[in-house]
Structure 1
Amino acid sequence: MPADTTPPAAEPVDPAAEAAEPESAAGATDAPAPTPPVAVPAIPAAEATDGHRPAPPAARAMEAPAPVPLRPAEIPARAGQRRHPVPVRRGTADPVKSLMHHHRALCERAVSPLEIAAGLEAHGLTDRTAARYRHRDVFALAEELYARTPAGPAEAPPPVAAAPHPDAGTRAGWTLLALLPGAACLATAGALRLTEGALGGGARAAVTLTGALLACLALRLCLGRGPLRAPEGAGRAGLYACWLLSFAVYGEELIAQVISGGPDGPWQPAPAPLLGLAAAIAPAAWCAHLFTVRARRRLGGSRALDEFGAGVRPLLLGSVALFLCALLPLLHLADLGLGGTGAPVSAAALGVLFFLARLLAAHGLPEPGTVALAAACAVEAAAPALVLAARLPGLDPLARPVHALVEAGGTGAVPALACGAAALGLLVHASAALSRASAHTRT
């Protein structure tokens, strides 16, 4: 029996499988690398139980992946911890710039470093303060301020003073005013001398009062102009000056009567000091004028504050000595003209005290002069008060200093000591105060 040669029946082939085989065969060579599995985030419990069907994993895979940060995220600060900022390192502050801004007006109107130094000194800056601004002294600081201040708009040059007629006229004006008090006192003294024995006591008192009023008016006019003018006033110095002048006329007679057991009877006035002091106002004005002019010239030519101070002190001493040389002859002539024979020591000390007090007031420093005048008044008032207080039981030692002073130099020794000590102390103070550049920039 022959073998069955009929081939076996073929199994049915799935068309989809046949189509997939070529695709798999073709993609076996150039298929991309398999992508890593995408992590599917866990579904929160609330979302799973709210009745909504969660999205299938395929839909979640189709969503755009979150961008990968280029650097790791900063760790947030914990609660309760404060992040301190890193301090920024800055350059050292310029202290001179702040000082220049504070004194900008002074620096802009200054024409020289010394003028700025004078202004700084007037505001209380010293060499120790200048060291804080990294400078050795006030003048070095002023030089830098002057160099760093921008120049203002160009101003027209001042007119050249071809002829000094206005200045000469001004000097002549205040010189005549300075002569008026002496002229009023001299006229009053002459009228009293000529009418002696012809006029009664009331008439002579009226003449004296009229002359005193004229002298006071002339003195006020004189002190309102010229080198003796005080820009800030004199305060209570006028009140103390009236006391000192009254004591110069009646003080010696008062002390003599108090020591002898009085006072009893009328006091004999001594008008010679008034006449001599009134006549010395004109020399005082000229001495003050010379000192002011020379000091300003020294201020313009100095290169340091110490140099200026060293040059001004001899000027001050020379001005005081020059005034004293003019005062002593006038006091002596007035004493001789009115029949006196006493030495004008107390009146000379009073004149120097007045001159220094007014010179300081003319440079914007009235307080030291007022204090010195008040101290002299206190000493003069204390002398008769101590003698009177010594009359009480057990207080005899109080009068011993006054008795010793009168026995050594007479009754004029009391005002001489009071005014002389005050004048000496004021001279020491003036030599320091007027040697500062700031004292010569206020006038």
Structure 2
Amino acid sequence: MTEARTTSVPEPSSSSTTMTVPVPAVRRGPADPVILLMHRHRRLCEGAVDPLEIAAGLEAHGITDRTAARFRHRDVFSLAEELYARVPRDGDRAAAVLRAPKQPVPVADVRAGRASSARRLTLSLLPGAVSALTLAGLHRTSGQTQLAIALAGAFALSGALSSALRRGPLRATGRRVPAAGLWVYWLLAYLVCGDGLLDALVAGGPHGPWPATLTPLVGLSFAVAPAVCCAHLFSVHARRRLADSSGLADFAAGARPLLLATVALYACALTGIVLLSTLVLGAGAALAPTLALGTLLMLARLLTVHGYPDPAAAGLVCACLAEALACLSVAAGRIPGCGPVAAPVTGVVQAWGAGAVPALACAAAALVLLAYAVVTLGRASAHT
């Protein structure tokens, strides 16, 4: 039989010294507050070529300077700098690209770029040429031939505008609102024949075909070329400002005046084109509604190009509704007891002319879009 062995453990004596081991305090959550943000936006940080691109992405996700303060940083840009420094990139490919010496551009690429620029300029001048040829054909024909030329010119102008907007700096690569094109066509149609209709309604008609003028449409068609140039200048200088800025606030301080200068430059170019077309064609054109509509279309296109199609479409819809309600209110004023409904529009037409209605409608919508664009296009996330 095996004898069981027992081992006795000696008890500590009362004279032994008791040692106290410090226990670290239990933290709630990670010790580094940036780790969670780093994992959440790892794909953004791995694909960025500089900290400002990360800052723009964080801003697009709703992270502000106040949010950055919770991560122990003074602003979004300093937070982006830490994320850029801590998140590893595959072989530091972006840094290698930045450190690589600049190679001379091949002559073939230079020629291809010049050919592409010339092609875009030609496409931007095509709508003006189509509208001018259509107007010349309408002046030299009558009857069924004139109607056929008008329809052919309308289809050709629509195709030329679509071609000009599908290429170059006015090309929208993101999501678009399909109905926005309908609102643009409505605004252009009202510019051509809306004033004559409103005058006829105020006078008690219409008792027959109301007059239409194509001179404003010719001016707007030729204004596509300066719109392309202004959009290109805004894009180039905004990206240059994005590369040279030291933070989001610094970029916004330079981008917002740049947007205002771009809109002002286009408005001046449009004014000159409308006055010149009036002088050459010998037909009067209401400058105020043409200028207001052109500025509205330019702002709506800039917002669409930079990823804000819904506000752009909303501005166009509001202008269309204002013009439609003006005509409907005058027609509704003929119903017994509804005379006060037509009084505001009738008073505006009698005081400033029928062109004041589209001028006020488009100018109000343009001002709202301009205020919205100053805020949104002044963000770095709109240019990345």
Which residue of the other structure, out of 379, 390, 393, is the alignment partner of 2:336?
Answer: 393
3-state SS of 1:411 partner? coil
Aligned: 1:424 with 2:367: yes
Q: Which amino acid aligns with 2:251?
A: F
The equivalences for 1:38-437 within 5 A come to 67-68=7-8, 89-90=26-27, 92-153=30-91, 154=93, 155=96, 157=100, 159-161=103-105, 164-193=110-139, 195-196=140-141, 200-235=142-177, 236-437=179-380
Q: Is the 8 A contact 2:137 2:146 kept in 1?
A: no
Q: Distance in 2 between matches of 1:67 and 1:234?
A: 84
Once the two structures are TM-superposed, the CA of residue 252 in structure 1 deviates from its matched residue by: 0.3
Q: Which amino acid aligns with 1:186?
A: A
The equivalences for 1:14-25 within 5 A come to none
Structure with bigger gyration radius:
1
Q: Which amino acid aligns with 2:128?
A: G
Q: Compute the TM-score of the two structures, normalised by the length of structure 1.
A: 0.77
Given the superposition, is the C-alpha separation of residues 337 and 201 from structure 1 closer, same or farther in structure 2, using an over 3 Å criterion?
Answer: farther
Q: Distance in 1 between matches of 2:236 and 2:313?
A: 25
Q: Which amino acid aligns with 1:201?
A: G
Given the superposition, is the C-alpha separation of residues 355 and 65 from structure 1 closer, same or farther in structure 2, using an over 3 Å criterion?
Answer: closer
Note the alpha carbon deviations across 1:101-150, whole angstroms, 9 max, x for none.
22112212212111110111122222222122222221111011111122
Note the alpha carbon deviations across 1:344-396, whole angstroms, 9 max, x for none.
11011000000111111111111111110000001000101111122222222
Task: Name structure 1 gaps, 5 residues minimum.
Answer: 1-61, 73-85
Once the two structures are TM-superposed, the CA of residue 223 in structure 1 deviates from its matched residue by: 0.5
| Aligned match of 1:25 | none
Moved more, 121-130 or 335-344: 335-344
What is the total number of aligned residue pairs between the two structures?
364
Once the two structures are TM-superposed, the CA of residue 87 in structure 1 deviates from its matched residue by: 11
3-state SS of 2:90 partner? coil
Q: Which amino acid aligns with 1:438?
A: S
Structure that is richer in helix per residue: 2
3-state SS of 2:88 partner? coil
Q: Distance in 1 between matches of 2:144 and 2:181?
A: 28
Q: Compute the TM-score of the two structures, normalised by the length of structure 2.
A: 0.89
Q: Is the 8 A contact 1:386 1:399 kept in 2?
A: yes
| Aligned match of 2:20 | none
Once the two structures are TM-superposed, the CA of residue 408 in structure 1 deviates from its matched residue by: 2.2
Q: Distance in 2 between matches of 1:440 and 1:432?
A: 13
Q: Distance in 2 between matches of 1:159 and 1:63?
A: 89
Q: Distance in 2 between matches of 1:173 and 1:377?
A: 33
Moved more, 161-170 or 62-71: 62-71
Q: Distance in 1 between matches of 2:330 and 2:378?
A: 42
Q: Distance in 2 between matches of 1:263 and 1:330?
A: 32
Task: Name structure 2 gaps, 5 residues minimum.
Answer: 13-22
Q: Is the 8 A contact 1:234 1:370 kept in 2?
A: no
Q: Is the 8 A contact 2:303 2:309 kept in 1?
A: yes
Once the two structures are TM-superposed, the CA of residue 218 in structure 1 deviates from its matched residue by: 1.1
| Aligned match of 1:76 | none
3-state SS of 2:375 partner? helix
Q: Is the 8 A contact 2:289 2:359 kept in 1?
A: yes
Over the aligned positions, Cα root-mean-square deviation in angstroms equals 2.3
| Aligned match of 1:26 | none
Q: Which amino acid aligns with 1:89?
A: V
3-state SS of 1:253 partner? helix
Once the two structures are TM-superposed, the CA of residue 399 in structure 1 deviates from its matched residue by: 1.2
Q: Distance in 1 between matches of 2:34 and 2:89?
A: 17
Given the superposition, is the C-alpha separation of residues 95 and 389 from structure 1 closer, same or farther in structure 2, using an over 3 Å criterion?
Answer: same
